[in-house]
């Protein structure tokens, strides 16, 4: 059965354009033109991905996203918005969005990002349990439980989005490696198509606010100037 995608976009022409191209790729689609309708459709059906505009009537996109995550759903959400300010991206990704594209957009890039999100989501849904003797990664007071997606920093539970968790897992599984932004994007988003490196930077910034004692002076996720990021020594007890 093909993946079902919810398109939330109040511009009916754009909504129909996205639906047409997704259907050509073999996906099933449902469309909403306002936030209330979007929440009702999401509640009444099963979706594998949501494409969400932020500036929609009756209930804005950030509230729709908040309600999706409040239901405990991990379905990927791709924000498609005319809001290009970095703070809007930080807000959207911080609320639990998995990707962020700004208008005007390339339909080819949108399809590529949709496919990347679906590959990751469907793989995680179908993959058998990992047969690891210890599903917990540990590093200098940082614990990452792969079996239940829980993160603890010096015993304190931290709530991460799926992308933040995957970024942290990437570093903790490769504690001596320095990653470029492109390598992080390829590993976490499962795609070679990165047109905006701010996507990685925003997720790193949000991750730091959650696991570092001082996000402006990070010790777990350290910047290697001119190259990218690496796992650091962590906070002292």
Does residue 18 contact residue 108 with C-beta atoms inside 8 Å?
no
Q: Tokens for 210? A: 């959650």
Residue 4 pLDDT: 94
Give the pLDDT confidence of 174-219 residue by residue, as tens digits: 988 899 998 898 888 877 666 667 889 999 999 999 999 999 999 9
Domains belonging to the chain, first-starting first, are 4-126 (3.40.50.2300), 136-231 (1.10.10.10)
pLDDT exceeds 60 at position 1:
no
pLDDT exceeds 60 at position 130:
no
Location of structure tokens 């996205």: 18
pLDDT exceeds 50 at position 113:
yes
Question: Around Cβ 88, how many Cβ atoms within 10 Å?
Answer: 17
Residue 139 is classified by DSSP as E
Average pLDDT, stretch 20-45?
A: 95
Range of weakest confidence among 21-25, 108-112, 134-138, 232-236: 232-236
Residue 162 pLDDT: 86
Q: Tokens for 183? A: 């390598």
Residue 132 pLDDT: 47
Give the pLDDT confidence of 2-15 residue by residue, as tens digits: 899 999 999 999 99
Percent pLDDT > 90 in the chain is 56
Q: In whole angstroms, what is the distance from residue 119 CA to residue 191 CA?
A: 10
pLDDT band at 124 (very low <50, low <70, confident <90, very high): low
Average pLDDT, stretch 141-147?
A: 90
Give the pLDDT confidence of 53-85 residue by residue, as tens digits: 999 999 999 999 989 988 778 899 999 988 777
Instruction: Compare 192 and 158 and report the one with higher pLDDT.
Output: 158
Does residue 222 contact residue 179 with C-beta atoms inside 8 Å?
no
Backbone dihedral angles phi then psi of residue 179, each to the nearest 5 degrees: -110, 135
Q: In whole angstroms, what is the distance from residue 22 CA to residue 4 CA?
A: 10
Q: Which residues are CB-contacts of 186 (< 8 A; sequence separation ≥ 6)?
A: 192, 194
pLDDT band at 94 (very low <50, low <70, confident <90, very high): confident
- Sheet with 221-224, side-by-side order of all strands: 178-179, 228-231, 221-224
Burial class (CB in 10 A: 0-12, 13-18, 19+), 222: middle
Model's pTM, two decimal places? Answer: 0.61
Residue 119 pLDDT: 86
């Amino acid at each position: 059965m093909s993946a079902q995608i919810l398109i939330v976009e109040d511009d009916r022409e754009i909504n129909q354009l996205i639906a047409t191209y997704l259907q050509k790729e073999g996906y099933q689609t449902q469309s909403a033109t306002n936030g209330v309708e979007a929440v009702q459709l999401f509640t009444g059906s099963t979706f594998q991905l949501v494409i969400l505009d932020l500036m929609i009537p009756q209930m804005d996109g950030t509230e729709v996203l908040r309600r999706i995550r409040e239901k405990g759903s991990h379905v990927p959400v791709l924000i498609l918005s005319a809001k290009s300010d970095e703070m809007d991206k930080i807000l959207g990704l911080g609320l639990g969005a998995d990707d962020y594209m700004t208008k005007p957009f390339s339909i080819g890039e949108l399809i590529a990002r949709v496919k990347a999100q679906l590959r990751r989501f469907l793989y995680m849904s179908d993959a058998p349990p990992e047969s690891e003797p210890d599903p917990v990664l540990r590093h200098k007071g940082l614990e990452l439980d792969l079996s239940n997606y829980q993160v603890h920093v010096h015993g304190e539970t931290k709530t991460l989005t799926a992308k933040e968790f995957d970024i942290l897992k990437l570093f903790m599984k490769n504690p001596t490696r320095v990653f470029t932004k492109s390598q992080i994007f390829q590993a976490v988003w499962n795609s070679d198509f990165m047109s905006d490196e701010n996507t990685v930077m925003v997720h790193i910034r949000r991750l730091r606010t959650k696991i570092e004692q001082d996000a402006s002076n990070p010790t777990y996720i350290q910047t290697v100037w001119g190259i990218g990021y690496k796992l650091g020594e962590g906070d002292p007890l």
